[in-house]
Structure formats: C-alpha cells, structure tokens
C-alpha cells in the first residue's frame, strides 16, 4: 500500500488507568508521539470520549480511527466493561466517537489489538495483557478466535485470572508473589492451549521477572496502539 497521507489512522487505547493515542501512517508506523491522559473517574462513556477528543486535537491530521476497548465489543458496541463503568454495556462507541471526531471509527477489544500488533500469524498464538485487568486473545494461523475472556475465568483459590493477576492484586501481594502466580498461570495456559507462542503485554508486563521459555515473549505496551492498523486491513 502506498504511504498516502489519506490513510493516517488515529490509534486509541482505552485503559482502566490511562487513555492513550498516537497517529499511524498508512503501513502502521507511528508518526506522532504517544499522548496520554488519566482515565476519567467515573469512567463513563462521555468523559472518556471527551478525553479522546482532546487528545486527538494534539495529534495533527488523521482520517480514520481505531480503538482498543477493555471489554467485549460487537460491531462497535461495547458489551462489557468490568474496569470502567456499567454505562458502557450496550453503548455504540463506534457511532458516538465517529460523530465527535467526524471520522470513521472501528473498535475492538484491547487485547485483540495487542495481539494483532504482535503475532507472527502461524500456529496457535496466545496473547495475555497485564494491566488494570487481565486481557486475552487467541489466534490460529493469524485468525482471531473471537471473544476470549480468560480474565474472568476461574484460575486458582476461587479467584479469576484477573483477581489473581490484575493491578489490584499486584499492588496487594507485591511483585514477587505476583510473578509466582504468573508462572502458575503460564503453566496452566500452556497445558490448556498448547500454544506455539505466548505474548505477554500490557502496562505491567515490565514487572515480569521470570526465566521465560523460548516461546514466551514480552511485548511493549505500545503494541496496543500499533495493532490498531490491522482493523483497517480488509
């Protein structure tokens, strides 16, 4: 594809603690510095849209928008938002943001976008994100298996992956214990999915302090923005 100015994409990553944006060129290379604002509290739709609009104003020209959202998304409509606010359930984010920015908008789950930015496209590839929540995405030969929500699945001691490994747990039990839990989670996921590759992303991935097997890679959090280009590859 020609690197045409008309193909600039504003990539947005809505997180439980920060809203981040950056502009990508036609082939997905960043052309602006990432900008970030704290996620408004309460994290209801309109204040978050306002944050995106004000961040977008710092990014220069763009022609289309990709959004990573921390919950299940169907056709631009957000279905769950455990770490934001229940007002997101059934909210048409793609349409609302498109009205505010006057640009076409596509929305996908945040972990799916991390994955789209990271995978090799071969075999079984699992992506988990460690941030406010616990995100997950599964790809088979580059094709996404939709709506995998491992974060809310039972992991151990009567708690979910997110309850054991989300940011609140990390702050409560400290890095050492959290890393031991992560090691157990990797063993459990490896035996369940028999993945060829596991990618670990999200804002807290930098705290991973384990000897990782060769098929496990830590990916930078900016992947959650870079993967946004894939939503326009059709």
Contact set with ligand BGC (CB under 6 A): 70-72, 80, 82-83, 109-111, 129, 131, 133-135, 149, 151-152, 162
As a dihedral over the C-alpha atoms of residue 214, residue 219, residue 223, residue 229, rounded to 10 degrees, the angle is 0
As a dihedral over the C-alpha atoms of residue 145, residue 130, residue 203, residue 78, rounded to 10 degrees, the angle is 50
DSSP letter at 4 equals -
Cα distance between residue 106 and residue 89, in whole Å: 17
- Nearest approach, Cβ of 70 to ligand BGC (angstroms)? 3
- Nearest approach, Cβ of 88 to ligand BGC (angstroms)? 11
- Nearest approach, Cβ of 3 to ligand BGC (angstroms)? 31
Q: Taking the alpha carbons of 212, 230, 52, 44 in that order, is the dihedral positive or negative?
A: negative
- Nearest approach, Cβ of 131 to ligand BGC (angstroms)? 6
- Nearest approach, Cβ of 135 to ligand BGC (angstroms)? 3
- Nearest approach, Cβ of 216 to ligand BGC (angstroms)? 19
**Closest to ligand BGC by CB, 32 or 162:** 162
**Closest to ligand BGC by CB, 76 or 151:** 151
Cα distance between residue 150 and residue 140, in whole Å: 17
3-state class (DSSP) for residue 228: helix
**Closest to ligand BGC by CB, 5 or 188:** 188
**Closest to ligand BGC by CB, 13 or 62:** 13
DSSP letter at 189 equals H
**Closest to ligand BGC by CB, 65 or 150:** 150
**Closest to ligand BGC by CB, 28 or 151:** 151
- Nearest approach, Cβ of 152 to ligand BGC (angstroms)? 6
**Closest to ligand BGC by CB, 89 or 192:** 89
Backbone angles phi, psi at 64, to 5 degrees: -155, 165
DSSP notation for 28-89 = S-B-S--EEEEPPSS--HHHHHHHHHHHHTTS---SEEEEEESS-EETTEE---TTS-GGGT
Which residues face 24 on adjacent strands? Answer: 9, 30
Structure tokens at 220: 């930078």
Q: Which residue is nearest to ligand BGC (CB)?
A: 133
């Amino acid at each position: 594809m020609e690197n045409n100015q008309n193909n600039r994409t504003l990539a947005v990553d809505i997180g439980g603690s920060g809203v981040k944006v950056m502009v990508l060129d036609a082939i997905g290379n960043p052309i602006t510095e990432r900008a970030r604002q704290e996620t408004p509290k309460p994290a209801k739709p309109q204040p978050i849209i306002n944050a995106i609009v004000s961040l977008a104003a710092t990014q220069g020209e763009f022609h289309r928008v990709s959004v990573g959202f921390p919950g299940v998304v169907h056709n631009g409509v957000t279905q769950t938002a455990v770490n934001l606010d229940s007002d997101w359930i059934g909210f048409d984010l793609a349409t609302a943001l498109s009205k505010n920015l006057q640009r076409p908008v596509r929305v996908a789950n945040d972990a799916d976008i991390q994955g789209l930015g990271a995978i090799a496209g071969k075999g079984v590839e699992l992506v988990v994100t460690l941030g406010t929540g616990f995100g997950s995405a599964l790809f088979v030969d580059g094709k996404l298996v939709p709506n995998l929500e491992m974060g809310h699945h039972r992991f151990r001691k009567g708690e979910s992956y997110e309850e054991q490994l989300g940011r609140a747990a990390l702050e409560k039990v400290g890095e050492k214990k959290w890393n031991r839990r992560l090691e157990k989670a990797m063993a459990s996921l490896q035996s369940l999915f028999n993945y060829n590759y596991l990618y670990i992303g999200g804002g807290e991935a930098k705290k991973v302090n384990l000897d990782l097997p060769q098929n496990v890679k830590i990916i930078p959090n900016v992947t959650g923005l870079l993967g946004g280009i894939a939503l326009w590859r059709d």
